[in-house]
Structures are given as C-alpha cells and as structure tokens.
Chains A and B, each alone.
Chain A
C-alpha cells in the first residue's frame, strides 16, 4: 500500500446479522459480524464451507440471496446504509460502485451472449460511458489481464474460451465500471493449480494498479496469503480472528486458524514394496470415437501401498480409474491384477474380481442413494458379495461403522442426515464391506473442508495399516499426495509424465511438467507469488 493514497474507510459492516430460511424456520447464518474495508485494501475472508463467507461477501453489496434476510446491523457505504435501501437504490450501486466475481466463471457467464457485451453490460446499462469507449477500455482491461488476442477475444462466446481465460475475463468485467469495491468469491477454486497462478497474478496486479478495494473470499489460506493485506477468519457465521496477513501467518492466535493448515501436517512415511498387486500395461483409451484420452499409460501398484495419481483436470487420472474398474474397456493394453489378466469389460468380470476392486468417489452426495439408510448402503455389498443376511448382517454393518469411527446410532440414518465427512466415511465403509484388496479413491477429499479432509486421510491410513489394503489415490492436490502416498504418478494430457517413490518425485531433478506443477502450488509464504514471478522472468 502506498502511503500517499487515500485510505479512508470505504465500507463498514457493523454487527451484521443474516438469517436463512430452511426446514420451515429461520436460522442464523451470520451472527453479528463487524467488517471494515479501506480504500484500495484487499481483505481476505477465509473459512470453511458453511462459515458464511459468501453470504457476508454479498452482504457487503447489500445483497442477500433468495431465502435469506438481514436481521440486524448496518452496512455503511459513505453515509448510506445499504441494509435500509430499497432494491432500486441498491441497483444504482451494483455494477457501478460494487462488482462481483463469482466462483465458477463457466456458470456465471451467460452462454447466450458474447464476452465483450457481458463485460461492458453493467457500465452500459448504468450509462457510465459510451459503448464504443467502454469497448475500447474493455480491450485494454483484457490486455492487462494478459488474455490472448485482447481485441478478438471479446467477440467469443463463453464456451469458446478456457476456464482460466474466462475467470480473467470476469475480473475484467468487474473492473469495467471502475468500481470502489470488488467481491472475489473463490475466483480460483475451480481452476487447476498451474492456471491458478496466472489468474492470481493478474488479479493482484489489476487491483493494485487501479487502487480498487477488494474482499477476497477463499478457503485456501495459502492463496489468501498472496492476495490480501489483511485476513479475517470466519467460522459458523462469526469472526474467529482478524489481523494483518503477515501477522496471521506467523502467529495465528486461535486453534481453529491453526487447524486450517491441518492436511499439510500429515506426513506418511513411504514404504517400498517390490511385490505388485496391479500392473497397468500400455493402455490406450478413448470415449466413443473421440480422441485418445489415455496414451500408452503404464502404472505399477505395489501391494499394500498407496499410489497417488496426480494431475490437472483432463490429464486422464479418472479415466485410468475407469479402465481399471472395467467401466471403460481400453482400446489397447492390458491390466494384470494379482498376477492374472483382468477382462477389460466390467460385465464380463467374475463377482470375485469385482469384489476385490472397489471405488470411493469424489462426491458422496451423488454416489449414495438418498432414499437408502446407512444400513442399506453398507449392507448391499455384504449381501451381494458375501450373502450375509439377518442378524449377522446388522452386526457386520455395526462392525464396519466402528471401523470408520462412527457408532451404531448411525445405522438407520439417511444420507441427508449426515455431514459431508460422515457421508464420505459411509462410502468408505461401503467399499470395505466387500473386503477388497484394492480401493480406488477418486478425489475423495476434494469436496471436503481441511479439517474433515485430515480426518478422512487419517482414517484411510489407519485402515491400510490394519487391513493392508492397497490404495490408488487420485487427486489434484499436492498436499494430499505428500500426506498419504508411497509412490506417485504424475499425469498430463493422457500421458504418464513420471512415476516413482514419493521422495524421488518431490526432489529435483524434475521433468518440465512436474516442475511447473509443483511450483504452482501456493505456499504460505506471502511472497511466494512474487518469487514465482521473478523466477519466471
């Protein structure tokens, strides 16, 4: 922050309370939070899902989503209280003084309109300037956001540009009216790490350049460390602590804040095992008549160990899992499991082969039948594979619940009565019920909060020790890889870039892609982004 700039208070939220309506009652979402933001300042708002970050961020614009309402406090912008204004008065501020950058650019852009029209739409409709002038300015903003072909890209439709480009276009869209405050709501969460770096850099530069104040909402402490001058930690709609970024990183006061680092503290010791349980040999695979999604992929999985397959979206990690499970018969190559060749197609495999390989999916919400109780969900494989019925059935379900650290009171619950972490535990128990030798975990912790992730990873490690199960762990998160794996496979564009022991992969020399991937993972050091930039130049 340069000192000579005006850094008076831009917006002040005092004791703000918001309620949401669900299950025929109003529940508090934000419980009397204070928040201040100065001109040109970037405030990081961090917390886990359900902490109320997005609600609070939108409330800073005086906006509440349908089914929510302000119940107390004030949002002061100058001498106006946004909570007391009617919709028309607030619309005068939205798109002029305030802008919003949403999490998923792909969903937040209207598929029916060209990018340039959406970029300048708010400024045009508020009559800020002439359309031609605004278009020229937009092109300049595209340039600043380092978009390729700044003069051309505006003519495209949202589906014609990549996710990272779309996210940058959205930032340009937010800047178009030269607002006083931009709310960034998890703007890089949906992006791959290597894409994220560039978006972070451009957002940071443009906000500084234009001296725009910003509220930067994220669940990732390392990201917010790069972006924010000040950090405010939220939990259950309350402020946990708030301080300057450097101070917060060096000496977080509250236990809760410390726990946000949680996964980064697990470090499994790597084990080497020569005996292989699974060998994937020279697999080519494609969907329908489409292009090859996997090219000559060979992966060795040691018995009783964990192989982490890491890569960005579209790298072929999940396709590899689909080939192993038989959901997608490969075009070429073979899979050797426990010394025997597996039939490529799921429907041709014996029940015994099916039993031995189980899967746990990313989203427990969609991988469980919402109408089945925990008993049915876990019990189904017991019945199917082991023909267990009656009292033994219930006992075995209770045993499995104990294994995943849940008690028998859960047995008659429906998925909707479980938390995200509990749901994922039930999915793990369902996989265990088959008594498999290999479990493929596809991004099992990606949809979960840090602390819950830690719990799930610890559970998986404990189960591995007790039952000597082999895991293939598919993830895009390097911290998770470091935490859980013995061996690591790096994939990129359907190719295996590198495979080796964890210690080998994480120490130089690296192939180019691994180097890029590893260097793109944000670190807690607030100067990390600056360092990356200077090392690139």
Chain B
C-alpha cells in the first residue's frame, strides 16, 4: 500500500477516535450543567408525578450509559433525537400527542446558513490573506509590509461586535450600501442571500485575515534563510519567483493548518456576529438552547462543531501530506 494511503487511513481512524471521546465529553459534561429542563418547564405547579412522567417521556429516567449509547447509536444514523422545548408541559401526561421537532430538522437550515456565511467569508478572506501574506513577505520591512501588518493587527485587536457596528455605521447607515439586518430564511433566493450576508462576512473577514496573513508571512520568511533559497537567488531568479516557486511550496503545511483553524472558527465561533446581524446561524441556536436547557439541541450543536473541527484539521493534515514530496514520493 502507498504510505500516504496508510497515513490517511490512520489519520481518519484517529479522527473517529477523537470524535468518540468528544461525544463522550459532550454528553457527560452537559449532564453536569446546572438547572433542569423538566423542573424549569413545569414551573411552580409541578407535582412529583408530573415530573416523573415528563422525565420518563423524555427518557431522562434511564441511567447515564444507556442514554449515551442510545444517543450515539442514533447520532451515527443521522438522528440527533427530538428537542425538549417543542413539547408542552401540558402534554406530559399524553405523550402520544407530542409535537416535538427533531433536532436535525431544527439544525439543518441553521447549519446551512452557518456554512453559507463561513464559505462566503472564506472565499474573501483566504485568498486575501494569502495575497497579503505573500506580498508582505516579498516586500518585508518595507512601508507596505508595516502598513499591512499594522492594519491587520488593528482589526484583530478590536472586538468582533465593535467591528460589526463600525461596518454598520459606515456601510449600512451613512452610506446605505448593505442592509444591517441579515435575516435570511430558507426561501431567500441565492443572490439576495449573498447581498444580505455581506456585512457579517466582511466583519468575519476583518477578524480572521490578520491571523492567516501573519502566519503566511511568517511561514515564508522562516524559509527565506534556507540554503535552497540562497541557491535560487544565485540562479538569478527574481524575488517574486524565489518566493512563489521556492518558498511557498514548502510553506503549505503551516499555512493550511492556520487556515483550517480559522475556518473552524468561522463555523463554531461566530455567535456574536450572528447576534449583531440577527443572522440565524447555529451559534444563536446553541446559545438559545443552552438558555432553554434543551439538552438534545445543545448536544447536537456541540457534536456538529466537533465534527467540523476534526474534519477541517484532517483536511489540513491531508494538504500538508500531499504537499510534502518526502511523503508523496517515498524512496
């Protein structure tokens, strides 16, 4: 077997193992959260019987490990269970009339929105930061380099909501180019969706570019002292050729790692931006569900986030493997 294939299989296997542990951590730590859905939902008027009946209906009466196995078993088949909050306490005694929605049906449109925003941001931010990083390395210690670094650092130093509000003031309020509310729905047509999502995407771009750009610059500059770079210079190659042909191909491993890290952030860490723009993403859903103590939804969101992280890191690993000729072409 080609060594790359076996490395890949190993990585995927490791990904599955980490996902298993993460699911265990998610499941058990959510049990530790304070508060109780049942008691909160039934309120002051609860009796011991109604609480027990409601618990039974939600499956909360079974021991921990059985609930975990049931949950994981269903999750593997794409079923994340039913939400708590769709149920009404008054139905507690008549479970057959439950109107609970499934977590997947709740999660799906939100997830689509989140991925849409992340993809849109990535399409702007990744090429932009690569371009800025490479040119900053090329013209390092010049005015250009310092200007790019300084502005990138400025945007990353400001809190996300602050960047968002500044963009709203300038691009939605003073000059009314874009809407300040990004309340997309599942029936919004594609182009309008893009138009509505521009401000949150720009906000996220400003927040992530600095990190990716600086790492790209550092990864390239780190290689510039290598003997093969000096050799390339002594071949009379232009500076841009030296960087594009000789430094960049060897810098993909660190760069792809940092890009994966930022993409993961775009999916799991953007709740503040979602709130500012009233964008219906997974982040909001998760926060809402935590407030409502809707455990199946919180678990579902956390699992999706974990999966995203693991998949993106796997992708970064794959990129660093296939850009390394030592692994791609063994002796």
Contacts and interface: CB of A to CB of B under 8 A. Distances in A.
B2 interface: no
A99 B329 CA distance: 29
Contacts of B237: 91, 95, 121-122, 125
Interface stretch (B5-13, B43-51, B116-124, B225-233): B225-233
Given A102-B227, A109-B228, A95 B235 contact: yes
B241 interface: yes
A125 B241 contact: yes
Contact of A100 (B226, B234, B241, B245): B234
B232 to A, nearest CB: 7
Interface stretch (A110-118, A214-222, A385-393, A444-452): A110-118
Nearest to A88: B238
B331 A107 contact: no
A66 B231 CA distance: 14
B149 interface: no
Contacts of A125: 235-237, 241
Interface of B is mostly: helix
B235 A122 contact: yes
Given A110-B228, A113-B249, A160-B331, A61 B234 contact: yes
Nearest to B232: A110
Q: Name the residue among B235, B241, B323, B326 with the largest chain A CB count within 10 angstroms.
A: B235
A462 interface: no
A112 B324 CA distance: 7
Given A157-B329, A159-B331, A91 B238 contact: yes
Interface residues on B, range: 20 to 34
B292 interface: no
A104 B226 CA distance: 11
Interface in A113-171: 113, 121-122, 125-126, 156-157, 159-160
A96 B249 contact: no
B250 interface: yes
A94 interface: yes
Nearest to A101: B231
Interface in A21-65: 58, 61, 63, 65
B34 interface: no
A90 B234 CA distance: 9
Nearest to A100: B234
B193 interface: no
Given A125-B241, A160-B331, A111 B326 contact: yes
B246 interface: yes
B236 A160 contact: no
A314 to B, nearest CB: 14
Interface in B153-190: none
A110 B250 contact: yes
A108 interface: yes
A94 B329 CA distance: 31
Contacts of B63: none
A110 B326 CA distance: 12
A376 to B, nearest CB: 31
B227 A108 contact: yes
B219 to A, nearest CB: 14
Contacts of B331: 159-160
B325 interface: yes
A52 to B, nearest CB: 17
Contact of A95 (B228, B236, B246, B324): B236
A92 interface: yes
Interface in B236-256: 236-238, 241, 245-246, 249-250
B3 to A, nearest CB: 13
A93 B235 CA distance: 9
A100 B326 contact: no
Nearest to B238: A91
A110 B246 contact: yes
Nearest to B237: A125
A107 B228 contact: yes
A85 to B, nearest CB: 12
A96 B236 contact: yes
Given A110-B246, A111-B326, A159-B326, A92 B236 contact: yes
B230 A102 contact: yes
Given A102-B227, A104-B227, A125-B241, A111 B234 contact: no
A96 B325 CA distance: 29
B325 A112 contact: yes
B250 A111 contact: yes
A107 B231 CA distance: 10
Contacts of A102: 227, 230-231
Nearest to B328: A157
Contacts of A91: 236-238
Contact of A126 (B228, B234, B236, B329): B236
A93 B237 CA distance: 11
B236 A93 contact: yes
Given A104-B227, A108-B227, A111-B250, A159 B235 contact: no
Nearest to A155: B329
Given A159-B326, A160-B329, A107 B226 contact: yes
A160 B327 CA distance: 11
A297 to B, nearest CB: 26
Nearest to B246: A110
A138 to B, nearest CB: 14
B325 A159 contact: yes
B234 A94 contact: yes
Q: Name the residue among A65, A66, A113 with the largest chain B CB count within 10 angstroms.
A: A113
Q: Name the residue among A98, A126, A156, A157 with the largest chain B CB count within 10 angstroms.
A: A157
A126 B324 CA distance: 28
A258 to B, nearest CB: 33
A414 B228 CA distance: 33
Contacts of B241: 125
A35 to B, nearest CB: 18
Q: Name the residue among B227, B238, B324 with the largest chain A CB count within 10 angstroms.
A: B227
B227 A107 contact: yes
Contacts of A126: 236
Contacts of B238: 91
Contacts of A96: 236
A244 B324 CA distance: 48
A101 B119 CA distance: 47
Contact of B233 (A93, A94, A107): A94
A108 B231 contact: yes
A219 B231 CA distance: 21
Contacts of B231: 100, 102, 108-110
Contacts of B324: 111
B236 A94 contact: yes
B241 to A, nearest CB: 7
A463 to B, nearest CB: 38
Interface in B314-331: 323-326, 329, 331
Nearest to B226: A107
B312 to A, nearest CB: 24
A257 B154 CA distance: 60
28 contacts: A61-B234, A65-B230, A91-B236, A92-B236, A94-B233, A94-B234, A94-B235, A95-B234, A95-B236, A95-B237, A98-B234, A100-B234, A102-B227, A107-B226, A107-B227, A108-B227, A110-B249, A110-B250, A111-B325, A112-B246, A112-B249, A113-B245, A113-B249, A121-B232, A122-B235, A125-B235, A125-B241, A160-B331
Interface of A: 58, 61, 63, 65-66, 90-96, 98-100, 102, 104, 107-113, 121-122, 125-126, 156-157, 159-160
- For the complex of A and B, 4 pairs with smallest distance between CB atoms: A94-B236, A95-B236, A122-B235, A112-B249
Given A110-B249, A111-B250, 20 more contacts: A63-B234, A90-B236, A91-B236, A94-B234, A94-B236, A95-B235, A99-B234, A102-B231, A104-B227, A107-B226, A108-B227, A108-B230, A108-B231, A109-B228, A110-B232, A112-B249, A112-B250, A125-B237, A157-B326, A159-B325
